Structures are given as C-alpha cells and as structure tokens.
Structure 1
Amino acid sequence: MTEDLRRRALDALTAARTRTAVLTDCVEDGELTAQHSPLMSPLVWDLAHIGNQEEQWLLRTVGGRDALRPEIDSVYDAFEHPRATRPSLPLLAPAEARRYAGDVRGRVLDVLERTALEGSPLTDAAFAFGMVAQHEQQHDETMLITHQLRRGPVALTAPEPPVHPPEALPAEVLVPGGPFTMGTSTEPWALDNERPAHRREVDAFWMDTTPVTCGAFRQFIDDGGYAERRWWAPAGWEQIRTHGIEAPLFWRREGATWLRRRFGVSEEVPADEPVLHVSWYEADAYARWAGRRLPTEAEWEKAARHDPVSGRSRRYPWGDADPDEEHANLGQRHLRPARAGGYPRGASPLGVRQLIGDVWEWTSSDFLPYPGFAAFPYREYSEVFFGPEYKVLRGGAFGVDPVACRGTFRNWDLPVRRQIFSGFRTARDAGVRGREGA
C-alpha cells in the first residue's frame, strides 16, 4: 500500500513537471519574462514559484532539509506581490529558474523515497506530495491562460476533441429533491475547502443537460442582452458599461459572423461548443434572460455525484474510477471544449453530460466554508478567500489536470473574471418554466 502511494505521488509530480516544461519550453526567453497581461504573472515567475513552493513544503517541512534559496521566498510569495507588479521583482532568469526547479525536484524525489507516508496529517497517504502536485497543475492551468492572452505566433498545438455520434438529448434533466452527502472526509488528496463531508438538503430542480453553448449565447447577444439593464446585477451592468463589453472575451464580430481568438488562431465561433471566457455577471445575465438561474453549488454537486439508486455520493459523475480520455476533456489533451453533449461515458446517473472537464461552471454560490471546516495546512489556501466577494466554479475545464479535479473540487474567482476557462449551465426550480427556445 505504501509503495502504491509512493508511486502515485511520483507519477503526479512527474506529470505536472512534464506539463510545466511543455508550457515554458515552447516560447523564447523573451516571452517567458514578458508580462502578457496585468492579470497574469510572467511565465518565468510561475516557473520559479512552483519550485519555491515545492522547496518550502516538501524539502523543508516534510524532509527537514536546509533551505536552498531562502532569499527568494519573498519574491515568489503570491500574497506579498500582486500579479501586476511581479515583472519589477528581481526574478530568476529562465535558465536559472529551470535549474532551481530541477534541483529542488531532484532532492524531493529523495525525500519521497525516504518518507514514511503515515504518522502525520501532512504525510498520511502522501498528502503533502499530492498537494504540491495539485499546486503545480493549478499553475500550469494559469500559464495556459497566459498563453491564451499572449499575442504572437502559435506556440501550443493539440488534437481536436473526439466527436461523438449526435444524440437527441433532452434540454434539461430533473434532479430529485432530498438529502445527499456533499464534500468529502475520505478523498486522500482533497483540499481543506472540500472537507468535511456533510448532509445537504436540496429541493427538486431542473438542470441543463449540457453547458450553455456559443450558439445559445449568441441568441442572448442578438436579442440585445448586453444592452438590457434588467438582466444584469448592478455591479455587472456597471462592469460591462465601463469596459464596453458586448460579447465573451476574445470574440469579435465581422459582418454577420462572430470570430474568436484561441491560442493564437482566429476562427469562427462554433455554435455547438460550450461558451467560454464569460464572467459570472455574464452567466447570471444570460440565465435571467432565459427565465432561469445559475445552479447553487450544492445543486451542482448533487447533480454531479448523487446516485439516486444507491443514495451514495460518487467521486465522479460516472462512478469512483479516475477519469480517462473517454470520461472527460481534461489535462490539456485538447485546447478547446468538446461539442456539447460529448463524453457519454462521463454522464451522471441522471444523464447530465460534461459535468467534469471542458469548462469551469459558474454557480450562484459565494465561496464559503463547509460546517466543521478546518484550515489545513495553511490559512492562505482557502480561508482568506471566504466571503461574498468570490463566486464558486465547479467541474474543471480542458486545461485542468485530473489530479486537481474531482466531484468535490471547489474553484473560486471574482465575478468579473473572464480570462479563465469559464462557462456555465442553468437551472430552474421544479415547476418554474423558462424562456421558450432558450
């Protein structure tokens, strides 16, 4: 059992570092040190930050080793320096950042080999190693966002998502009311905000079978949705008016055609693909226009995990098995969402599709702790973000690695954010009708 855990931790760390190399080796040094958007760090900051966090948690804390580069701790402290100011810091140059991260990793592998994976909350079930692998994968997703924002030649390529035979799917699925188990107390690498497992009561509701598509969102645009104040939360209306927002980020209109920029490629917006790069305010406005609403976080998790036959909550919509390429669009295998309705093997027991992968899905819920929450292993991972300022996203996107995505995983962001790989689906109370055709 211990050797299985050691192998799992090694595989997770190796997969993360392989992906980091893909994201940083595909561009010249000038692109690594440039800031492509004030919303994002230079790629080279993320690279060294990954190594520094690994050094602090796995070498120093778990391994008890002496610090390699204590003088750079403050430079790569994400709470000390906002992203917009990081280019002015004394950052490690690309070659030095790579050497540093590689040196740390070599020593970490020795720590992993020598550490008893039991006896403390940090080492039980290799938690600290899983936490660091998830941290690196989360920064890999952040770097992928930076690649989407950067201008210039195409640097990343990937095959297209699989195309499944068309099916006549219902527009929505009824999720029955009643209690279910939300969160987890048993998932070994679950992070503190996913814990503990607790009972939630949810009234019956209808949920979209698939995420809202670009074609459906175009109907909202064509109907003047961005010009109608009544659909928007006050702060959302102020946001779109102040910044002249009239469509999802990266969209532009040429005559009657909508185009978008995707990782350096200009292409026509695909009508049957889940809409991407929309803020919470845009998702909420669309839902109001459609006579519907965003699902709560509890509703989303019940639709994704609850098995109405057994009454238990699964790890994933399809069951307890780890995701593979037939279940979900994850891990940067593709650089876009699959068509709406894809991945039939990943459907929930009720038939809801694409709850894991493709696009992060905004919910209506604020990011708040579960009953019995305890910060671990540090307050800054979750606790300092709790409150109404942040909205919860669920399900992961095509740029999320499976190690950092599960039925209980919680993401959060400010409701104005659009550069993230965010989409949504809508819901309605049982018995409440929505807009015809929306």
Structure 2
Amino acid sequence: MSRQPRRLALALAELESARARTLALTDCLDDDELMAQHSPLMSPLGWDLAHVGNQEELWLVREAGRRPALRPELDDLYDAFRHPRADRPALPLLSPAQARQYLGQVREQALDVLSASPFAGDPLHADGFVFGMVAQHEQQHGETMLATHQLRSGPPVLHAPEPPPAAVDVSRLPREVLVPGGPFTMGTSTDPWALDNERPAHTVDVPAFWLDTVPVTNAAYQEFIADGGYDDPRWWTPEGWEHRRTAELDAPQCWFRDGGSVWLRRRFGHVEEVPPDEPVLHVCWFEADAYARWAGRRLPTEAEWEKAARHDPATGESRRYPWGDAEPGPEHANLGQRHLRPAAVGSFPAGVSPLGIHQLLGDVWEWTASDFQPYPGFAVFPYKEYSEVFFGPSYKVLRGGSFAVAPVACRGTFRNWDYPIRRQIFAGFRTCRTAEGDR
C-alpha cells in the first residue's frame, strides 16, 4: 500500500472511531439529560455533540475542502472561547436530533474532502494532518464527555469490562528508578499528527533523578490522609492551602466515608470500595504537590517526565512511546475507554520503558511541576486558540494520558494542561527526587 492510501485509511479509521465514541456517549441518555448541565464545570453533552460537528465543518469542509459553509450561524454558538461552560445551557442550542442530523451532513462532505485530499502540499494537507487534528479534537471531547458522565448523578449508563489483573507483583519492583542525567531530545519535528505545542524537537539537558516506578496508588494516598496531610499547611503551597480551605478538600473527588473507616468512591453511577492498588484519581495539582512534599519528594518537571517516558539510554534516541515506536495495543497501556477505570499498578509489562518504569502512558494523567509554556522555536499552527492562548503560569502540564484517552491523542510528546485546582479530569501523579551527584 502506497503512502497516500495508507494515510487515507488511517484518517478514515480515526474519524470513524471518534464519531462512534461520540455517539456512544450521547445515545445512552435521553434528550433532557443531554441538554442538562450536570456540573457548572462542564458543558451540556448536547453542546459537545454539536461542537465536534462544527469544528469538523470549519476545518475539513471549509478550510481543507474550500467548500461553502453549511451552517455558519452555528459558529458563534459552538465557539468555546465566546461562551464559558457555565453559560452554555442558556444558549439556543441545537436539539440532540438536530445535532445528530448536522453531524451527518458535515461528515458526508468531510469524507468527500478526505477522498480527494492530496495528503501533500500545504501543511494542512501534508500527511493528512488536518484529518488527524480533527480526529484528535473529537476524541478529546470524548474524554471531556466521559468526565461529564462521571459527574452526572443517576444510575449507570456506561459499561465496559474490568481491566486485567496486574501482571507484575509491584512489591518485587524497586520503589524508584534512576533516570541518568544528560541531554535528550524533547518534543518532535517529525511526527505527522503532532500538534503545535509538541513542536519543535529540541535538546534538553536533564540532571539525574529518581522517579517512582509506578504512579502513586490509592493505598499510598490514604496514608497521606490518615497522617493528617489535608490538615497540615506545611505540605501545601500558600495558594494550595488557601484553595484546600475554601474548597474544603479532605480527599480525592468522588471519595467519601459511609459512617466508618472504609473509603468508598462513586464511579460512573456505581458506589464501590476504593481499590488500594489502583493509581489515585481525581486529585488536583495542589493535592499532588502536597502529597509529594509530605513524602519528602516532589513532582517531576515536564522534561523529566518526558525523558523517563521516551529516552532510550542504549541508543540515545527518543522513542514515540515508552515501549518503542509501535502503535499502542491493549498489551501496552490502558487507553481508549476500553475500561472505565485505571488498571492496578503492575499491569501492562509490555509497556514498560527501557529503564523499567511502569504505566507512563494510560490509566491516569500525571501532573508535572511545570507551567504550560512554548518550546524554543514554537510556531502557531494552524490556529493560536489551540495552544498559544493558554501559555503562562496559570496552567500546569499533565502527561501520559488516561484510560479515557484515545491512542490517537496519546504519545510520549503529547501535552495536556489545566488549572491546578481541577479535579474532574482523570488525573493522578507520581513523584521523584533529585539524584545528588549522579549523572
């Protein structure tokens, strides 16, 4: 198969996969629930449903296809920068039936554009970038819609098999792994569907450090709670302590006690005992940072995290994924909403990095110590609202994806970001420490 048909088939498969997920996350609810706002932090699911169609029209029909607008009057309604999430229920939104009809009309034209694309020439078409960008965008909204499902009250409507049991006894693994110091290549200039904030590739010299072999677990986090970690300002930044007080944080989001000492959690409509061996989930950056300080450690920087995930000391090269350049499979990582929870630590040994670090991709996003900033030589492409408007100290970087992330939107260079107070996202963390004298 030549390069163009291969790219076309890949783009088609990713667009279809994203759409199937969008429909699965919305067809399971009635219209009232789709148009309701289940949290002021989130849009109504009906807004997301039409928004992904509007973005597809903007980029595939109008920009890539140079075709007339189908529904230009929708551009303002579904512009994420014009209307905060809390205000969107009051907008004259399309009904779910109208949104589905619109999605079908857009997709019909988008597929015509796809079949005619040269997959070469201008940067938007080269290697099918614009189709990969739109597929990633829709999958990112799939993750957002899944977070809305987690915040929704009511009986379960989503179902998935349980993750496989851990394949490795983590008690036999080292507590931490030494990542040798020295330069490595961060970011990418060659990945055809990498987004602008992942570019360009550049050399970063990272001093040696020790990184947790696995993400911090629920059991470990319960020790922090039991030791009074939420009540001791020593472990919190001033901003974090103020937020802990005003938001009355005392445990990860969705955790609660039911009149006893056992921690329970709500998960997509189910109530269950908190599994001790899963990575902790639904903690904000301030909580992750406080835990790390309590443990006598710190959060890794973004460069440290990427070096641990991509650098191969044997070759000196940076891999696309911790296990190499092969596309993610179910043996490598917990991705793609195959399961509705993180897997136990010690799962997916085929996905281990060259240094022996487990579960760097999938399961939970991992908070880093870094602010979201551009790389040296950064250039906006194809629009500044994807990355540039978010650069600065207000946002912290997360890495590695979660069980809710599609493989197309998860790689060793992929960067996520959010406010340090956010807990509805599927985020956890791991800690590290500087290796004094090691290089």
TM-score, normalised by the number of residues in structure 1: 0.98
Tell me the secondary structure at the aligned position of residue 73 of structure 1: helix
Say whether 1:195 aligns with 2:199: yes
- The aligned residue for residue 176 of structure 2 is 172
- Report the count of equivalent residues: 432
- CA-to-aligned-CA distance 1:192-215 (integer Å, 9 cap, x gap): 000000000000000000000000
Aligned counterparts of 1:366 and 1:244: Cα–Cα separation in 2 = 25
- The aligned residue for residue 210 of structure 1 is 214
- The aligned residue for residue 408 of structure 2 is 403
1:245 to 245, 249, 263: 249
Aligned partners of 2:364 and 2:427 also within 8 Å:
yes
Kindly provide the amino acid, as one letter, of the partner of residue 43 in structure 2: S
- The aligned residue for residue 87 of structure 2 is 85
Aligned counterparts of 1:342 and 1:238: Cα–Cα separation in 2 = 37
1:38 to 24, 36, 40: 40
Aligned counterparts of 1:317 and 1:239: Cα–Cα separation in 2 = 35
Runs of at least 4 residues off by over 4 Å = none
| Deviation, structure 1 residue 102 | 1.1
Aligned counterparts of 1:24 and 1:409: Cα–Cα separation in 2 = 27
Aligned counterparts of 2:71 and 2:207: Cα–Cα separation in 1 = 53
- The aligned residue for residue 60 of structure 2 is 58
Percent of pairs with identical residues: 70
Aligned counterparts of 1:115 and 1:245: Cα–Cα separation in 2 = 51
Say whether 1:234 aligns with 2:227: no
Kindly provide the amino acid, as one letter, of the partner of residue 429 in structure 1: T
What residue ranges of structure 1 are gaps of 5+ in the alignment? 433-438
Aligned partners of 2:367 and 2:398 also within 8 Å:
yes
Aligned counterparts of 1:64 and 1:205: Cα–Cα separation in 2 = 50
Aligned counterparts of 2:88 and 2:263: Cα–Cα separation in 1 = 35
- The aligned runs of 1:24-423 (5 Å cut-off) are 24-167=26-169, 168-254=172-258, 255-423=260-428
Tell me the secondary structure at the aligned position of residue 73 of structure 2: helix
- CA-to-aligned-CA distance 1:49-80 (integer Å, 9 cap, x gap): 00000000000011011101001100000000
- CA-to-aligned-CA distance 1:364-404 (integer Å, 9 cap, x gap): 00000000000100000000000000000000000000000
| Deviation, structure 1 residue 106 | 1.0
Tell me the secondary structure at the aligned position of residue 272 of structure 2: strand
Kindly provide the amino acid, as one letter, of the partner of residue 270 in structure 1: P
| Deviation, structure 1 residue 431 | 3.9
- CA-to-aligned-CA distance 1:125-166 (integer Å, 9 cap, x gap): 000000000000000000000000000110101000111334
- The aligned residue for residue 435 of structure 1 is none
Aligned partners of 2:166 and 2:345 also within 8 Å:
no
Kindly provide the amino acid, as one letter, of the partner of residue 52 in structure 2: I
Aligned counterparts of 1:366 and 1:278: Cα–Cα separation in 2 = 17
Aligned counterparts of 1:151 and 1:169: Cα–Cα separation in 2 = 39
Kindly provide the amino acid, as one letter, of the partner of residue 70 in structure 2: L
Kindly provide the amino acid, as one letter, of the partner of residue 202 in structure 1: V
| Deviation, structure 1 residue 235 | 1.0
- The aligned residue for residue 9 of structure 1 is 11
Aligned counterparts of 1:307 and 1:240: Cα–Cα separation in 2 = 39
Aligned counterparts of 1:231 and 1:178: Cα–Cα separation in 2 = 30
| Deviation, structure 1 residue 240 | 1.1
Kindly provide the amino acid, as one letter, of the partner of residue 127 in structure 1: F
| Deviation, structure 1 residue 341 | 1.5
Kindly provide the amino acid, as one letter, of the partner of residue 6 in structure 1: L
- CA-to-aligned-CA distance 1:276-324 (integer Å, 9 cap, x gap): 0000000000000000000000000000000000000000000000101
Aligned counterparts of 1:337 and 1:120: Cα–Cα separation in 2 = 40
Tell me the secondary structure at the aligned position of residue 370 of structure 2: strand
Aligned counterparts of 1:73 and 1:100: Cα–Cα separation in 2 = 13
Aligned counterparts of 1:64 and 1:129: Cα–Cα separation in 2 = 14
Aligned counterparts of 2:168 and 2:8: Cα–Cα separation in 1 = 42
Kindly provide the amino acid, as one letter, of the partner of residue 401 in structure 1: A
Tell me the secondary structure at the aligned position of residue 282 of structure 1: helix
Aligned counterparts of 2:410 and 2:425: Cα–Cα separation in 1 = 15
Tell me the secondary structure at the aligned position of residue 318 of structure 2: coil
Kindly provide the amino acid, as one letter, of the partner of residue 89 in structure 1: L
TM-score, normalised by the number of residues in structure 2: 0.98
Tell me the secondary structure at the aligned position of residue 381 of structure 1: coil
Aligned counterparts of 2:82 and 2:147: Cα–Cα separation in 1 = 22
What residue ranges of structure 2 are gaps of 5+ in the alignment? none
- CA-to-aligned-CA distance 1:244-274 (integer Å, 9 cap, x gap): 1100000001211000000000000011100
Kindly provide the amino acid, as one letter, of the partner of residue 105 in structure 1: R
Aligned counterparts of 1:57 and 1:124: Cα–Cα separation in 2 = 14
Aligned counterparts of 2:36 and 2:109: Cα–Cα separation in 1 = 30
Aligned counterparts of 2:334 and 2:413: Cα–Cα separation in 1 = 17
Kindly provide the amino acid, as one letter, of the partner of residue 223 in structure 1: D
